[in-house]
Amino acid sequence: MDHEDLRLWSKRAADWAADYHAGLRDRPVRAPLVPGAVARQLPGAPPEAAEPMAAIWADFERIVPGGMTHWQHPGFFAYFPANAAPASMLAEQLVNAMGCNALIWQTSPAATEVEQVMMDWLRQAVGLPEGFVGTIHDSATVATLSAVLTMRERALGWKGLEEGLAGGPVLRFYASAETHSSVDKAIRVAGIGQRNLVKVATDGARAMTGAALRAAIRADREAGMLPAGVILCAGGTSVGAFDRIADCLAVCREEGVPSHVDAAWSGSAMICPEFRELWAGIEGADSVVLNPHKWLGVQFDCSVQFMRDPGAQVRTLGLRPTYLETAGREEIVNFNEWTVPLGRRFRALKLWFVLRAYGLEGLRARIRNHVAWAAEARDQLAALPGVEIVTEPRLSLFSFALGEDAATEALLARINDDGRIYLTQTRVDGRFAIRVQVGSFDCTREDVMLIAKVVNELLAR
Ligand code: PLP
C-alpha cells in the first residue's frame, strides 16, 4: 500500500465513518461478546507476504465493528463519556497524515504553539484566572502522576530525584475516598506507599471539609510525618462528589501544603458559568486536571493540566540531554519537560477545531441539555414502581437501585443485554447502584428518555 492507495482508502474510510455514525442506534451499545470471540477470528501468526488492502478491509468490517462497545452511541450512559465530535475526528485525520512527534518545540513548532494558545483559550473558557498555564497529557492519570511527583519533590526540596526516597521523611498525601483510583496509582508509582495516602473522612454530602483536612495534616505533623500534597475531588467517578474546594484550599495555604484538583469529568462543564459554583475557590489550586476527552467533544486522548507555577513541574520532570537541545532558543517551551513521556502527539489541533467548529455557545448548549435531561430522566425513573434514586444528580450523573442488591444487579445485566442503552454500576455506602451519566455528544432528549422506557419495559416483563 502506498500513498496513492491511501488517498483512495481514506475516502472509503470517511464514507465508512459517516455510515457507522448514522447507524449507531441500530447496534447494541455494549459488545455482545464472550471473551476470546475476536481473537479466535485472527490468524495465530503474521503474514509473510503482503496482503491486498481489500482483504484487510473486508476482515476489518467482518470482525471489528461487531466486536466493539460503541462509545459514540447516543445510548451510551456508562462510565463517563469519551466523546469524539466530528470536528475532532477531522483534526485527528490531519494529525495522522503528518505523523509528527511533538517532543520538543523544534520537532513540531506548530504543535507546541497551537497547544500554548489553546491552553489559554481553555483557561478563559472554564474561568480560571490569568497566570494559570496548561499542557495536554494523554490521560488524567498521567496528569495526576505528574502533579504528585512534583508535590513529592517540592516537599523534599528536589532531593528525591538525586538521592531516592530511602531514609527520607515519611511523606503524606491527602484525598477523600471519592477520588478516582488514578490518585492511588500515582501515589504507588511515586514511591509514596499506599498507606501514606490518607483517605480523609467526608461529610454527609461526600465532601472533604477544610476542618477534616486540617485535622489530618496536623495529626501527621505531630506524629513526625511530612504533609506533602492534597488531591481534591471535583466530580468523583462514583457519584460525582465534590470536596469543599475553597475551604480545603484555604487549609492548604495555611498549612503550606500544595494541591492538585481532579476535575477530569466535571471540568468541561465549567465552560458554563452557572456550574462554577461547584468548584468555587479553584483559583487557589496549584494544579487542576480536566479532560476535554470526556465531555467537551475533543476525542481521547486529551487531558489538560493547568498549573500556577509550571516551573516546579519542569524542575521535577524536565531533562535536557544534548540530543534534545535547541541551540539559541531559550524562550521556547518544550512540553515534554512538563510531563512523563518524551514523545508527544499533536493533541491541540483537535481542541482548536472543536472550539471553533461548535463555539463555546454550542458546547455549552450540549452540556446544559445533558444536565437538564439527566434531571428529567431521574424523575422518570423515580416514578417507576420499585425504583429508588440512590444519589441525586451532580451535573449529569445520578444513581438508582431496586430494593435488594441482587435485583439491581440482575436489572443491570438485563439492561445491557437488551442493548439499546448502556449503564454501569457503583457502590454507595456498600449498596449496589446503577450509575446514569448523560454526556454523549450527539444524544437527543429522546435518547435520554429511553433510559426510563427501557427500565420500565424490563421491569414489566
Ligand atoms: N479522574 C476522574 C474523576 C475520572 O473519572 C477518571 C476516569 O474516568 C480519571 C480521573 C482517569 O482519567 P484518564 O482515563 O484520563 O486517566
Nearest to 420 by CA among 30, 34, 81: 30
Q: What is the pLDDT of residue 439?
A: 97
Ligand 1 neighbourhood includes 140 CB (under 6 angstroms): yes
pLDDT tens track for 95-107: 999 999 999 999 9
Residue 330: what are its φ and ψ, rounded to 5°? Answer: -70, -20
CA distance 313 to 146: 7
Q: pLDDT exceeding 90 applies to what percent of the chain?
A: 97
Mutate to test the pocket of ligand 1, among 76, 180, 303, 305 (most ligand atoms within 8 A of CB): 180
Would residue 395 be called left, alpha or beta, if left means φ above 0 and alpha means ψ between -120 and 50 degrees?
left
Read off the pLDDT band of 337 (50, 70, 90).
Answer: very high
CA–CA distance, 30 with 34 (Å, rounded to integer): 12
Cβ–Cβ < 8 Å for 374, 396 = yes
Contacts of 302 (CB under 8 A, 6+ apart): 136, 291, 292, 293, 347, 350, 351
pLDDT of 325 reads 86
User: How many other CB atoms sit within 10 Å of the CB of residue 91?
Assistant: 23
- Name the grid cell of 122: 481553555
The pLDDT, as a whole number, for residue 452 is 98
Q: Which three cell numbers stand for residue 312?
A: 516546579
- Residue closest to 387 by CA, chosen among 457, 456, 445: 456
At 205-215, the pLDDT tens digits run 999 999 999 99
The number of beta carbons lying within 10 Å of the beta carbon of residue 157 is 7
- Of 61, 62, 74, the closest CA to residue 25 belongs to 74
Q: Is 149 helix (H, G, I), strand (E, B) or coil?
A: helix
- Cα of 141 vs centre of ligand 1, distance in Å, is 6
Q: What is the assigned CATH class of domain 101-345? A: alpha beta
Kindly report the pTM of this predicted structure. Answer: 0.96
C-alpha cell at 13: 474510510
Residues 255-290 have pLDDT tens digits of 999 999 999 999 999 999 999 999 999 999 999 999
Q: What is the pLDDT of residue 272?
A: 98
Asked whether residue 330 carries a pLDDT value surpassing 80, the answer given is: no
For 47-63, what is each residue's pLDDT tens digit? 999 999 999 999 999 99
The CA distance from 388 to 382, in Å, is 6
Closest-lying ligand 1 atom to the alpha carbon of residue 141: 16
C-alpha distance across the termini of the chain, in Å: 53
Q: Using an 8 Å Cβ cutoff, are 425 and 411 in contact?
A: no
pLDDT bracket for residue 329 (50, 70, 90): confident
pLDDT the model gives residue 185: 97
Residue-range domain boundaries for the chain: 3-72, 101-345, 364-460
pLDDT tens string 430-453: 999 999 999 999 999 999 999 999
Distance CA 219, CA 199 (A): 13
Kindly indicate whether the domain formed by 364-460 is annotated with CATH number 3.90.1150.170: yes
Determine whether the shortest distance from the Cβ of 303 to ligand 1 is under 6 A. yes
> Which residue's CA is the closest to the ligand 1 atom numbered 12?
140
Q: Is the pLDDT of residue 339 over 90?
A: yes
Contacts of 431 (CB under 8 A, 6+ apart): 390, 401, 405
pLDDT digit string, tens, across residues 4-25: 999 999 999 999 999 999 999 9
Query: pLDDT tens across 364-408, in order?
Result: 999 999 999 999 999 999 999 999 999 999 999 999 999 999 999
Q: What is the pLDDT of residue 364?
A: 98
The answer to whether the CB of 100 falls within 8 A of the CB of 54 is: no
Residue 165, pLDDT above cutoff 90: yes
C-alpha closest to that of 96 among 351, 407, 346, 390: 346
Q: Contact, 171 vs 130, CB < 8 A?
A: no
Residue among 181, 233, 237, 394 whose CB has most ligand 1 atoms within 8 A, to mutate: 237
Element (H, E) at 389: strand 388-394
- How far apart CA 141 and CA 135 sit, in angstroms, is 14
Q: Which of 32-36, 45-49, 115-119, 308-312 has the lowest mean pLDDT?
A: 32-36
> Which residues are bridge partners to 399 per DSSP?
391, 435
Residue minimizing CA distance to atom 14 of ligand 1: 139
**Confidence bin at 461 (pLDDT 50/70/90):** confident
The CATH architecture of the domain made up of 3-72 is Up-down Bundle (1.20)
pLDDT of residue 162: 93
Contacts 24+ apart (CB under 8 A), 52-59: 53/1, 53/5, 53/9, 57/9, 57/12
Per-residue pLDDT at 371: 98
Average per-residue pLDDT in the chain?
96
Within 13 Å and on the Cβ side, how many CA atoms surround 242?
21
User: Which value does ipTM take for this structure?
Assistant: 0.98
Query: What are the beta bridge partners of residue 231?
Result: 260
Instruction: Please give the distance, rounded to the nearest whole angstrom, from the Cα atom of residue 293 to the centre of ligand 1.
Output: 10
Of the pLDDT bands very low, low, confident and very high (cuts 50, 70, 90), residue 32 is confident
Query: What are the residues whose beta carbons fall under 8 Å from the beta carbon of 21, sequence distance 6 or more?
Result: 72, 442
| Alpha-carbon dihedral sign for residues 355, 359, 361, 365 | negative
Residue 270 to residue 381: CA distance in whole angstroms: 27
Q: Which residues contact 295 (CB under 8 A, 6 or more apart)?
A: 80, 81, 83, 265, 268, 269, 367, 370, 439
Q: Determine whether the shortest distance from the Cβ of 337 to ligand 1 is under 6 A.
A: no
Residue with cell 484566572: 129
3-state secondary structure of 431: strand
For residue 208, give the nearest of 157, 245, 171 by alpha carbon: 245
Q: Could you give the percent of the chain with pLDDT greater than 70? A: 100
Give yes or no for residue 316 CB within 6 A of ligand 1. Answer: no
